[in-house]
Chains A and B, each alone.
Chain A
């Protein structure tokens, strides 16, 4: 045994293979850790390990590996990966399509969140007044939440169809020609936003309803005594007291919109001319359709930073308007 312990009063002794032992008064003793504490530690490790291993394998390791790949050129087939430094990042910032899809993604996120939350909030306020058949409406409005996104995308593709689609008849009724939504450079992104808003309203509305139910009735009663208008009621009572829900939904909806993929992939596949292409779809295309693993990894890192910054900013801003 490698014994390199210096004779020091109460010094810690380094014995290879048994560093836990402490040299005290010329005698080796185990550090004070009761049987029970050790058992607890083991139990802790035992219970958390499965989770940590799964997270490690399926979340942390891919993140690290993707960061690593972003400095390489690799098509997933070749046995060799070529190190190219920050070239992926350089060509990314010089790629006009990258800026186009970033703009698309941000405007998609902003408009989706605005319309979705606005409509969901007004619907939930209406439903909170317990109109006749309210639960039926609630069920109908909630139904897109549990509808498969593929089915949603397919049905909406037909609704947008310029010759037979439902929208054509609605537009006709007001005397306007319906644009060819999905094949038009200017209308493809709005079409996608409409679908995302429609399919997201239900979930937000239910959360808003729960938030509304938590506002104590006596505040409204007191306000009624003071003779407030419904608008004042909303601005000074409902909205501030609902702000935690609104904040939560803003953050999650925004992140969700930044990650929009399935509906767009099926409806437009990003076209025409990338006018409805968004970040995650472009990332997917690069990685799995065009075999540009390194480039896609660089995109992923930028998206990670983007989401982080947006969330931090939202958090900071929230201090001004969210009341817990």
Chain B
């Protein structure tokens, strides 16, 4: 009796293994459409538009079926991707916060797109993408990511508050003017407490560093270059840091701000924000919002933010399918839809000239600032892709604007921390 059970068990086991082998064999020659998984981020309009594009792509052809899975905010996608790497259960395409391309590409977690570009015979043209937007998809000379929902930092100005203070209804053009405007706008009560101030400086790990980078660029400086040389102790960065700090502690015309609510509640007249926040701010404010360039000092130049698409599939057929999907998501038709729905920037020349995009900007001229700024963009500082890079810069800004510590010393400490982090984690 026992022996029969044993034999049966062995037979079952054998059957199981053959089934596995059969499964593996089947993967080599797919029949019917290839199913791939897309990990998306972002909620609200920016999330809905992705779902819509996935549905359109699935309906438009029969070879590939994309399953879109919402995985949370950028930071959560990152964490889930780490877990997936450890488990070996990877999605095929992921939406990544742009500075993290280098981090994942460096250790071979992303598939290089060079081979797909090379063998693509459908007239796909890399040169169609805006150079400033495709540039940070490269790591070590190979293309790893394609631009999808790209944004730049902007200055949002409360036009009504400026006019009340006797200023023209326009954004300040330079940082000196930014400081002047702030002085004129600020009001205090009898006890000396501020009622309204000129500007709110964004704090926190997510984006404080981004606006700081933009401001350093405008002073003609850099946070770090592509070889990871850190330029924070040089004059432009120190000058800017001193200016921001003086506005908070000497002039008392600006404050650290954690949320755009300070702007919407008229607590401050000017805030930094992403092009992606434009729709939100314009619709929620009950005053005249002017989206404008970040002030320039010696030049107009801003770091590009937002997300890119990267490929993580391990199977050859799924990779081909993923490539088709990535091409669609960044095509003129799809991108134009994203631009119109969200306010993100067009990523290619063909998307900018796409009839729907052109018509959209004609009816909403105020939103055109995003496109106008496109020519003044460069990738973010290389140190952002270090695991702890954004955190170190967040600490720097807190030291400057909350701790009121000497800017020169803060810059030296920050440079040392960044260098240590680079040696520790990236080299």
**Which A residues contact B (CB, under 8 angstroms)?**
75-79, 163-164, 177, 182-185, 269, 271-274, 285, 288-292
Q: Which of B54-62, B101-109, B280-288 faces chain A?
A: B101-109
CA A116 – CA B203 in complex, angstroms?
32
Query: Which A residues lie within 8 Å of B395 (CB)?
Result: 273-274
Taking CB atoms, residues of chain B closer than 8 Å to A184 are: 402
Query: Judging by beta carbons under 8 Å apart, are A77 and B205 in contact?
Result: no
In the complex, the chain B residue whose C-beta lies closest to that of A285 is B391
Whether the Cβ atoms of A271 and B109 lie closer than 8 Å is no
Known: A272-B402, A290-B387. 7 other contacts (CB 8 A): A75-B103, A75-B107, A76-B82, A77-B109, A79-B108, A269-B204, A290-B391
Task: Chain A residues near B179: list those with CB within 8 A.
Answer: none
Most buried by A among B86, B193, B398: B398
Q: Is B403 an interface residue (CB 8 A)?
A: yes
> Is B165 interfacial (CB-CB < 8 Å)?
no
Per-position 1/0 for B76-106, Cβ under 8 A of A: 0001001001100000000000000001101
Residues of chain B with a CB closer than 8 A to A77's CB: 82, 85, 103-104, 106-107, 109
Q: How large is the interface on B (under 10, 10 to 19, 20 to 34, 35 or more residues)?
A: 20 to 34
Write the chain A residue with the least CB distance to B85: A77
A273–B403 CA distance with the chains assembled, in angstroms: 8
10 contacts between A and B (CB under 8 A): A76-B82, A76-B85, A77-B82, A77-B104, A79-B108, A182-B258, A271-B204, A272-B398, A272-B402, A290-B391
Q: How many whole Å from A6's CB to the nearest CB in chain B?
A: 31
Flag if B387 contacts A291 (CB, 8 Å).
yes
CB distance from B205 to the nearest CB of A (A): 7
Q: A77-B109, A78-B107, A79-B108 are contacts. A291–B402 as well, Cβ < 8 Å?
A: no
What 6 pairs between A and B have smallest CB-CB spacing? Answer: A78-B107, A291-B387, A290-B388, A290-B387, A77-B107, A76-B82
- Complex contact B205–A273 (CB within 8 A): no
Distance A164 CA – B264 CA, assembled complex (angstroms): 13
On whether A289 and B75 interact (CB within 8 A), knowing A75-B387, A76-B86, A185-B402, the answer reads yes
The CA of A292 and the CA of B103, in the complex, are separated in Å by 13
Residue of B nearest to A271 (CB): B398
Contact A272 B403 (CB under 8 A): yes
Q: How far is the CA of A291 from the CA of B425 in the complex (A)?
A: 9
Residue in chain A with minimal CB distance to B108: A79
Determine the chain B residues whose CB is within 8 A of the CB of A78 once the complex forms. Answer: 107-108
What chain A residues lie within 8 Å of B79 (beta carbons)?
288
Residue contact A292 to B403, C-beta cutoff 8 Å? no
CB neighbours of B5 from chain A (8 A): none
Q: Take A272-B398, A272-B402 as given contacts and tell me if A291 and B82 are in contact as well, using a CB distance cutoff of 8 Å.
A: yes
A274 / chain B contacts, CB cutoff of 8 Å: 395
Q: Does the CB pair A183–B256 fall under 8 Å?
A: yes
Q: Given A183-B256, A269-B204, A289-B387, does the pair A75, B425 have CB atoms closer than 8 Å?
A: yes
In contact, A292 and B387 (Cβ under 8 angstroms):
yes
Residue of A nearest to B205 (CB): A269
- A272 CA to B106 CA, complexed, in Å: 32
Complex: how many Å from CA A182 to CA B191? 22
Interface positions, chain B 157-215, Cβ under 8 Å from A, are 191, 193, 203-205
Q: Is the CB of A177 within 8 A of B191?
A: yes
- The minimal Cβ–Cβ distance linking B209 to chain A, given in whole angstroms, is 14
Across the interface, which residues of B come within 8 angstroms of A177, CB to CB? 191, 193
Contact residues in B for A290 (Cβ distance below 8 Å) = 387-388, 391
Interface string of B200-240 (1 = CB under 8 A from A): 00011100000000000000000000000000000000000
Q: Can you list, as one digit per residue, whether each of B383-427 has a CB less than 8 Å from chain A (1) or not (0)? A: 000011001001100110011000000000000000000000100
Min C-beta distance of A294 to chain B, whole Å: 11
Q: How far is the CA of A78 from the CA of B110 in the complex (A)?
A: 11
Q: Which of B106, B267, B398 contacts A273 (CB 8 A)?
A: B398
Say whether B391 contacts A289, CB under 8 Å. Answer: yes
B43 proximity list for chain A (CB < 8 A): none
Would B388 and A288 count as touching, CB distance under 8 A? no
Instruction: Name the A residues within 8 Å of B402 (CB-CB).
Output: 183-185, 272-273
Tell me which residues across on chain B come within 8 A of A285, comparing CB atoms.
391
Residue of B nearest to A77 (CB): B107
Residues of chain B contacted by A75 (CB below 8 angstroms): 103, 107, 387, 425
In the complex, residue of chain A having the shortest beta-carbon distance to the beta carbon of B193? A177
Minimum Cβ distance to chain B for residue A76 (Å)? 4
Q: A292 to B425, Cβ gap below 8 A? A: yes
| B18 adjacent to chain A (CB < 8 Å) | no
B353 at the interface (CB under 8 A from A): no
Report Cα–Cα, A177/B189, bound state, in Å: 13
B265 at the interface (CB under 8 A from A): yes
B403 touches A288 (CB 8 A): no
Contact indicator per residue, chain B 357-392, by CB within 8 Å of chain A (1) or not (0): 000000000000000000000000000000110010
CB within 8 Å of A: which B326-384 residues: none
* Shortest Cβ gap from A152 to chain B (Å): 18
Q: How far is the CA of A79 from the CA of B104 in the complex (A)?
A: 11
Closest CB-CB distance, A145 to chain B, in whole Å? 27
Which residues of chain A have C-beta atoms less than 8 A from B391's C-beta?
Answer: 285, 289-290
- Tell whether, in the assembled complex, residue A183 and residue B258 are in contact, meaning their CB atoms are under 8 Å apart: yes
